A and B are shown apart, each in its own frame.
Chain A
Amino acid sequence: MKTVFRRPESLANVATHYCPGCTHGVIHRLIAEAIDELGLRERTVGIAPVGCSVLAFNYFNFDFQEAAHGRAPAVATGIKRGRPDLIVFTYQGDGDLASIGMAEIVHAANRGEKFTVVFVNNAIYGMTGGQMAPTTMPGQVTTTSPAGRDVNLVGYPIRMCELLASLRTPGFIERVAVHHPKYIARAKRAIKQAFKYQAENRCFSFVECLSTCPTNWGLSPLKACKWLEENMMPYYPVKNFKTPEEVGSNSQALATDEPRRPSAAPVREPAARNHGEASHAG
């Protein structure tokens, strides 16, 4: 008999704690499939965030580290700088990545750290009970914006792909959605491509997954999928923003001009660097 569907080896054989209809599980599976297909399992280290996916280390069948809230990109940087041979990815929610961890993600992307980020944007703080996130939609009701997000008071939702794509450093940046099979197939391709770039030691790679939180949105799983499509997708377009081959679409202004050499400050070519002064300590 031909096997047409089975559990990827990279996925642990356990039940998750996610709410019924939550899309975290879908994203877990896509990651596991990508890692299996690329044959990376035995040298992969995942980083779990603080958020609903804090226990992700229980759901994957490879090495894992659990990071402090928002710090996963720093933890990943530490691993990659110390052990560049390992395949490292962070798995982060929108509160984790776009609020408390904003500095860490921007600088990791800007340094071009060669790890992969899977960013789960469900427009809310799931784990702590549905508070407003930096990605919460205008007018969206949460437990800390009971009258709906007021953009005059707290600004507009942050579009992380667009923000990161404006950086000059090459990278792979794509936004996908996981609420419907049509989009899931595309999400899988993006996640696999992200790991591929890492395995080739090419660049920083970042995949934002538009995701649902039926529990804290107060909607049935099906209605949550519809809400995502109607409310999130127009504001968060699903597309590729950047590949290492070309610089992203919304960074043309920055992309065209090479940074100009400051005339006053000394600039040294990397090759011409002189380490001779090392000898006194050697």
Chain B
Amino acid sequence: MAKVLMKGNEAIAESAIRAGGLCYFCYPITPQSEVAEYLSWRMPEVGGSFLQAESEVAVANMLYGAAGAGVRVWTTSSSPGISLMQEGLSYIAAAELPAVVVNIVRCGPGLGGILPSQCDYLQATKGGGHGDYRCLVYGPSSVQEAVDLMPLAFDRADRYRNPVIVVGDGMIGQMMEPVEFRRYEFPPLPSKDWATTGCKGRKPNVVNSLYLDPAKEEQLNIRMAQKYEKMKREEVRYEEFWTDRPYRVLLVAYGTTARICKTAIQKLAEQGIEAALLRPISLFPFPEEKVYELGQRAEWVMSVEMSMGQMLEDVRLAMGRTKPVYFYGRTGGMVPSPDEVVEAVKLHLERK
């Protein structure tokens, strides 16, 4: 198919439809309302279901219901709305249901502002709601990558029976870029024989997260933990940039910030400073082994984020005490410029 110029939010919507995400619930919030606006006419056209709910609290529980009935279901929102969904997401994870949630992150905490940010990293990757669970989390850095990750997100949600979160920032949602909707092939999925589809010809199915017997609740937690270990083995995704040449500095950045870092690395090279980038695509599971491996070849490592330092914790965990780990970030909706990243790198080099 030829490339079309599309706004990130609309491209995400179209990609989800093509991936079979034909049941969508939402509540308006900037900077992602275009997804809902697009789907409000597109869903009826493809025979799907679109509903604007009364709140994000309701949305998350609608996801739970539809997912429990075996329907491929998803939503989009932004930071304050995602906070309201945490109750439902915890239930979805506990009942082992598949659902896809796109968070076009805006700056916070509180009502914050509507400009791009990466301040929901910890919420997305460390659980977010109550209880011992994780979501599979992807962080695209271009509109095309967001388009490509949507089918993967639906597939992995079904395969792992687990919520999958796609974290974009306001840049990804609002940016216009040429995109191509490719055909994606995945191995066949197991049948949803656990879903509440009516008990004709079988024993009743129950979608549930209540375990009054501590031994059974522990068993659930252990089973879920095994699932996350499997994700760590099989679902790690990342991109390397200029790691095929010698470098003194390794930057770690995802999403929009990674694009800025690539420009910064080119600018650093013009000044004779060699740097490389590791861009996590899966934020959970975090590419910790790759960070460690590439970090060993650098003098030090720097996490660059649009936050006060959240992924930094994972980078530090990955590096242990082997090399210094620094941080550079802008937040509150301020997007770092490549020159600022260059200056931050040089500052640490001079200090040495």
Contact = CB atoms under 8 A, between A and B. Distances in A.
Given A44-B198, A77-B51, A82-B73, A278 B206 contact: no
B41 A65 contact: no
A194 to B, nearest CB: 19
Contacts of B207: 64-66
Given A63-B198, A79-B196, A81-B66, A281 B4 contact: yes
B93 to A, nearest CB: 12
Interface in A42-77: 42-45, 47, 54-55, 57, 60-68, 71, 74-77
Contacts of A66: 95, 206-210
Contact of B53 (A42, A45, A60, A107): A107
Interface in B186-245: 196-201, 204-210
B206 A63 contact: yes
B64 to A, nearest CB: 6
A78 interface: yes
Interface in A242-282: 273, 275, 277-278, 280-281
Contacts of B4: 280-281
A86 to B, nearest CB: 6
Interface string B42-61: 10110001010111011111
B42 A278 contact: yes
A218 B95 CA distance: 36
A229 interface: no
A41 interface: yes
A233 interface: no
Contacts of A42: 198-201
B10 A107 contact: no
A262 to B, nearest CB: 19
Contacts of B73: 78, 82
Interface string A15-51: 0000000000000000000000000011111010000
B88 A68 contact: yes
B65 interface: yes
Given A75-B64, A75-B65, A83-B71, A41 B199 contact: yes
Interface string B1-44: 00010100010001000000001010000000000000001101
B54 A103 contact: yes
Contacts of B51: 77, 81
Interface residues of B, number: 48
Interface residues of A, number: 39
Given A54-B210, A67-B64, A83 B58 contact: no
Nearest to A72: B61
Given A75-B61, A75-B64, A81-B62, A63 B71 contact: no
B115 interface: no
A104 B88 CA distance: 13
Contact of B6 (A41, A60, A273, A281): A281
B351 to A, nearest CB: 51
Contacts of A273: 41
B197 A104 contact: no
A78 B61 contact: yes
Contact of B41 (A55, A61, A278): A278
**Residue among B197, B206, B210 with the most chain A CB within 10 A?**
B206
Contacts of A43: 198, 200
Given A44-B198, A281-B14, A65 B206 contact: yes
Contact of B61 (A44, A45, A104, A280): A104
Identify the interface centre among A67, A76, A82, A277: most chain B CB within 10 Å of its CB: A82
A67 B92 CA distance: 10
Contacts of B95: 65-66
B139 interface: no
Contacts of A67: 61, 64-65, 91
Contacts of B10: 281
A63 B199 contact: yes
B40 to A, nearest CB: 11
B41 A86 contact: no
Contact of A45 (B41, B58, B198, B201): B198
Nearest to B71: A82
Top 10 closest pairs, chain A to chain B, by CB? A78-B65, A82-B71, A78-B62, A75-B65, A74-B61, A43-B198, A82-B66, A63-B196, A42-B200, A78-B66
Interface of A: 41-45, 47, 54-55, 57, 60-68, 71, 74-79, 81-83, 86, 103-104, 106-107, 273, 275, 277-278, 280-281
25 contacts: A41-B199, A42-B199, A44-B198, A45-B198, A57-B206, A57-B208, A63-B198, A63-B206, A65-B95, A65-B206, A65-B208, A68-B64, A68-B88, A68-B91, A81-B23, A82-B66, A82-B69, A82-B71, A83-B69, A83-B70, A275-B41, A281-B4, A281-B10, A281-B14, A281-B42
Given A61-B199, A106-B54, 9 more contacts: A64-B206, A66-B210, A71-B88, A74-B59, A75-B68, A78-B65, A81-B25, A81-B66, A275-B45
